[in-house]
Amino acid sequence: DPTSGQFLSAGSMNAAREGHTATLRGDGSILIVGGDYIVHTGGSTRVGEFPKSLGSVEHYDPGIAEFFPDTSTLTTDRTNHTATRLRDQSILVTGGSLFMGNAQTHEDVLSSADLLVFP
């Protein structure tokens, strides 16, 4: 709230994530893409913590302060990528990393890209 200088709650995303992107769309909504979360193994003993990349997409409507899952999914799960809105309002998602979320996890640096097109 710029008037009071205070942050206000904006709700909660549908998935916990880090390393994601938030891109302003032409209609004023914000597209949240990919990212990762930590997978804990071993139950209460917490044997390991491994990152798992996400391919899910959701958007935020600032008019009603609510997040909505999107039917779009990335062709490759990715985190720490970039997302750029193009002139035609599509979103180009490029690069980043892929983590599988298990003890054999290694980081694959991605050269692939996804194009999210909206009607």
pLDDT of residue 65: 92
DSSP one-letter code for 44: G
Residue 87 has pLDDT above 70, yes or no: yes
- Tell which phi-psi region holds residue 46, choosing left (phi > 0), alpha (psi between -120 and 50) or beta: left
**Does pLDDT of 80 surpass 70?**
yes
Phi then psi for residue 21, to 5 deg, are -120, 155
Task: Extract the tokens encoding 47.
Answer: 């044997």
Q: Which neighbouring-strand residues pair with 67? A: 60
> What percentage of the chain has pLDDT greater than the value 70?
89
Token pair 């979360």 in the structure block, residue: 37
Residue 25 is predicted with a pLDDT of 95
Write down the residue that tokens 């799960």 correspond to.
77
pTM as predicted: 0.85
